[in-house]
Amino acid sequence: RKEVEQDPGPFNVPEGATVAFNCTYSNSASQSFFWYRQDCRKEPKLLMSVYSSGNEDGRFTAQLNRASQYISLLIRDSKLSDSATYLCVVNPRDYKLSFGAGTTVTVRA
Amino acid sequence: NAGVTQTPKFQVLKTGQSMTLQCAQDMNHNSMYWYRQDPGMGLRLIYYSASEGTTDKGEVPNGYNVSRLNKREFSLRLESAAPSQTSVYFCASSENPRGNQPQHFGDGTRLSIL
């Protein structure tokens, strides 16, 4: 079983729509969680850390459900510039980050 | 503000050739990492260096060697390139090796082995 699993999508949404997707992780001892964004053929960039109580950063909301071992990302009022692949990243133990394969979001005009 | 710089950006090799991928960071980070990214898969850790003077294997170290030259620089060497090593390689750094630290990535080296 992969340590981090994501629905690859793609999620095709119109501008202004809300889109949400999850990722699941297998190691219940995982302590830290992140969402990274990766544009086509470019480097991953940190979008936001995910905290136990859930957190927002502008139009982006991240949630953590430890009982069911998943984290979610919700994007409100989607912009064309939100089109990207979103990587779910989990820290199962020190010195290691496990990356999901990514969820592709395409926002259309 | 350069962040993490990788060279070269693109490279084509023949099977059996060797080469070294270079990485340098200017953020005074202690920890550095090498990943590979293949289609449909998450980034996989090849090697990491928790601090200057130390290196350790990641998930997929076979066929690679690394050198932490100093605090800034961490190189990845392919001694005898194989087609299975065709991939995009990313170097990353973080303040320390604890998993609660986000990692900052270079813009990648696209490597093709013929």
Tell me, yes or no, if B1 comes closer than 8 A to chain A by beta carbon.
no
Q: Which residues of B22-58 are buried (b: 16+ CB within 10 A; e: fewer)?
A: bbbbeeebbbbbbbbbeeeebbbbbbbbbeeeebeeb
**Structure-block tokens of residue B51:** 């601090």
- Cα B89 off chain centre by: 6
**For range B39-64, the mean pLDDT:** 92
Instruction: Output the pLDDT for position B90.
Output: 97
pLDDT at B46 over 90: yes
Place of tokens 């009982």: A67
Chain A neighbors of B108, CB-CB under 8 A: 41-43
Chain B neighbors of A4, CB-CB under 8 A: 42
Whether A44 sits inside 8 A of B88 (CB atoms) is: no
**For range B5-17, the mean pLDDT:** 97
Instruction: Output the pLDDT for position A96.
Output: 80
CA distance B44 to B37: 6
Nearest to B100 by CA among A3, A61, A49, A102: A49
Tell me, yes or no, if A23 comes closer than 8 A to chain B by beta carbon.
no
Q: Give the torsion through C-alpha atoms of B13, B14, B16, B19, to 10 deg.
A: -10
Q: Distances in Å between the alpha carbon of B85 and those of A70, A78, B16?
A: 32, 37, 11
Tell me, yes or no, if A45 comes closer than 8 A to chain B by beta carbon.
yes
A69-93 pLDDT, tens digit each: 999 999 999 999 999 999 999 988 7
Parts of chain A with a pLDDT under 70: none
Tell me the pLDDT band of B1, cut-offs 50, 70 and 90. Answer: low
B13-31 pLDDT, tens digit each: 999 999 999 999 999 999 9
Tell me, yes or no, if A19 comes closer than 8 A to chain B by beta carbon.
no
Nearest to B88 by CA among B32, B25, B40: B40
Q: Which of B44, B99, B106 is facing A31, going by the closest CB pair? A: B99
pLDDT at B61 over 80: yes
For residue A94, give the amino acid letter.
D
Q: What is the gyration radius of the CA atoms in chain A, in angstroms?
A: 13
